[in-house]
Amino acid sequence: MPDLDIREIHLLRGPNIWANYPVMEAWVDLGSLKDTGSDEVPGFNERLKSWLPGMIEHRCSVGERGGFFQRLDRGTYPAHILEHVTLELQTMAGHPLGFGKARETCVEGLYKVIVRYLDEVVVQECLRTARELLLAAYTGGEFDVASEVTRLQDVVDNNALGPSTKAIVDAAKERGIPWRRLQEGRSLIQLGQGVKQRRIWTAETDRTGAIAEYIAQDKDLTRTILKQSGVPVPQGRVVTDADDAWEAAGDVGLPVVVKPTDGNHGRGVFIDLSTREQVTESYKQALNEGSGVMVERFIPGVDHRLLVVGSKMIAANRGEPACVVGNGKMNVRDLIESQLNSDPRRGTRDETPWSIINTVDDIDPTMIVDLQKQGHDLTTIPREGERVLVWRFANPSVDVTDEVHPSIREHVVVAAKTAGLDICGIDVVCRDIGRPLEEQGGALVEINASPGLNIHLKPAVGQGRPVGEAIVDMLFPEGEDGRIPVIGITGTHGKTTATKLVAHLLKSTGKFLGVSHSDGLQFGERHAESKQGDRLFGTQGVLLHPWTEIAICETSAESIILEGVGYDRCQIGVVLNVGTEHLGLGYIDTLEQMTKVKRCVVDVVLPGGTAVLNADDPLVAGMAEYSKGSVVFFSRDPGNATLAAHRSSGGRAVWVKDEVIHLAEGETERRLCALDDVSLPVTGHFAFHLESVLAAVATAWVCGVADAAIVEGLRSDD
């Protein structure tokens, strides 16, 4: 069998030399395939095109539809093909992304395959599956694409962000709010940084209180406090046994609803019950779904789900009960499969607006009760034309947001506030959502914490609503982006010294500093030992700390090459120098490549931010053109031509002249202090410290630290 060995996989979770978003970089040994073009293997291209016809959309370097297929026909190499197949499998699994590259290394036959991803587990599974597919295509073997795609879709469902969380994250990204998944496979998300961060878990936030969730879970308590707040609710009470349930039914009046006191998702809720037998049997079923049972007056009408975010009703959907029509030949189970479950809008995945109705395993007992009321079960054959209600609690999937009466909007907001929930889904039963509940006998029947958002994002009928945006707007009012100032510092020599000195100089701001460097982590005055302080771990640590007001992060070449930069954007990006010491790491073999590595810190400077660059190092000075913000140059040479040109155009600079540190903005310059005033040795054997000092001075200046405070910091020991 041909070689196609995946040697290593590196997940570059932050900005990197390939892109400013996460990518997977796989090191792949092509082995005996290294010189084999796609046009040299009989049947290879035909097999690949037939298995993955969607790759006709890959434009590749040709720049037009079918471009990649043209490359296949002309002859292209395995690493390039592996890149495209991995991307296509991601698309088929539900993650359509278009960025990828394949680049050779200095080792013969060893290539880097780079692919953008949304989920770390998904992209790795797609890569491994792509390898198996290619091996089958090269050898003429069989490959079951459909079953593999189904498996990959399951991987997506089990690992990727669900639709509710994704909607919130997408809305945050649209507003430029940084985000981070705190645990793989979970929907626990940090939005923002440091002291400005917020957290969500699906449709719950860090301000969704445990008390509020307890209230919402206790259906009888919810009903009681809503009634006291003037919100229309059904009459009812908790019951102790089946006999008490029938007695309660008599008290509230038939027909009634029997349901668990703490159930969810409509399970164990039996409605429109009119006989003692029905109430007794429903009591037993409801008890299996919760810790207690309650009986309520049945409210005639249609189920609606209304979403409240903060102090606003954001979206509303109407439920559509699932029904089948008999043909005199098929039983109810088969009718469900042919008329309902065959609808492409139904499925087991979160993306579908309607759910599959289970007819074999995990059958909802409420469906059985509804069928029995109509004289049916799953095996009976309805007569031709007979309409049979299968499931009352079908997904609310018709958008009616614009139809909701103002008084109902007010009721649901009051209900949410009464329960104490910042986000909730409220179930309302009424005949017409456009009329007041009081005049039609409608009522609020349930409050749900952590409501699903997908029914509002993708209703089966009607307009999707921007519910993710509404939640982000609640968490981050207009004008806020959740960012704190981030200072990224890189270079070959002096990074740690510069990072510590910047932190020392910024103490005068009175801000809580989170600092990460190769000697560990620093939170305010507390030092935490860490061998990964200059890696992604350390950077994420200072951005995670809830008190951090300014983050100062040493960013090593190793971190950038193997993990990506630990922040998506920075206010200040500092580059000290580019040397040869780390060449060879991650197959970065030339100074040109290493320059691109170090430049990542400059690439992510925010508009309005600043790049602090060494004018004495041409490789560093050349990064100025990549800064989206302003540039401050520093130099040990007062005659530096780059410095002079920068000043002539009004730029800021820091340099040494006659053993004195000077600052300038354009042609206006001033003396800061003599080198003798600097406590850190910067002459003789310690001359290399001078770059770190000048960079730190420039950074403090950009941060608004007064000259006197900078001088005091330089003179004092830390």
Quote the pTM value.
Answer: 0.91
How many Cβ atoms sit within 10 Å of the Cβ of residue 42?
9
| Rounded Cα distance, 709 and 713, in Å | 6
| Rounded Cα distance, 225 and 2, in Å | 70
Tell me whether the omega of the peptide bond preceding residue 255 falls within 30 degrees of 0, making it cis.
yes
Q: DSSP string spanning 134-149?
A: HHHHHHT----HHHHH
Q: What phi, psi does 511 have (nearest 5°)?
A: -80, 155
Does the 486-715 domain belong in CATH 2.20.25.90?
Answer: no
Q: Quick one: how far is CA 549 from the chain centroid?
A: 23
Domain ranges for the chain: 5-159, 321-394, 486-715
Q: Provide block-wise average pLDDT over 10 residues at a time, the chain (718 residues).
A: 87 97 97 92 96 95 92 96 98 95 95 97 98 96 96 95 94 98 93 98 95 95 97 97 96 96 79 94 91 96 96 95 90 92 80 80 82 90 91 77 98 98 97 97 96 92 96 97 98 95 97 95 89 86 98 96 97 97 92 97 98 98 98 96 96 96 95 92 77 98 97 87
pLDDT recorded at residue 422: 97
> Cβ neighbours of residue 143 under 8 Å, at least 6 residues apart?
51, 132, 133, 136, 137
> Cβ neighbours of residue 643 under 8 Å, at least 6 residues apart?
615, 633, 635, 637, 653, 655
| Rounded Cα distance, 453 and 443, in Å | 22
Pairing of strands 256-260, 270-273: antiparallel
For 59-84, letters b (16+ CB in 10 Å) and e give ebeeeeebbbbebbeeebbbbbbbbb
Q: Which residues sit opposite 514 in a β-bridge?
A: 523, 551
> Cβ neighbours of residue 260 under 8 Å, at least 6 residues apart?
219, 267, 268, 269, 286, 287, 289, 290, 291, 292, 293, 294
Q: Which residues sit opposite 312 in a β-bridge?
A: 309
pLDDT recorded at residue 532: 78
Residue 583 near residue 518, CB atoms below 8 Å: no
pLDDT recorded at residue 184: 86
Residue 454 near residue 353, CB atoms below 8 Å: yes
- Greatest CA separation for the chain: 103
Exposed (0-12), middle (13-18) or buried (19+): which is 667, by Cβ within 10 Å? exposed
pLDDT recorded at residue 104: 95
pLDDT recorded at residue 360: 85
> What value, to the nearest 5°, has the Cα angle with vertex 596 and ends 595 and 602?
95
pLDDT recorded at residue 350: 67
Q: DSSP string spanning 622-690?
A: GGGGG-SSEEEEEES-TT-HHHHHHHHTT-EEEEEETTEEEEEETTEEEEEEEGGG-SS--SGGGTTHH
Q: DSSP string spanning 488-557?
A: EEE-SSSHHHHHHHHHHHHGGGTPPEEEEETTEEEETTEEE--TTTTSHHHHHHHHHSTT-SEEEEE--H
Q: Within 13 Å and on the Cβ side, how many CA atoms surround 665?
A: 4
| Rounded Cα distance, 76 and 266, in Å | 55
| Rounded Cα distance, 419 and 218, in Å | 11
Tracing tokens 């320059």 back to the chain, one arrives at 595
Q: Copy the structure tokens of residue 386.
A: 């007979």
Q: Which residues sit opposite 116 in a β-bridge?
A: 23
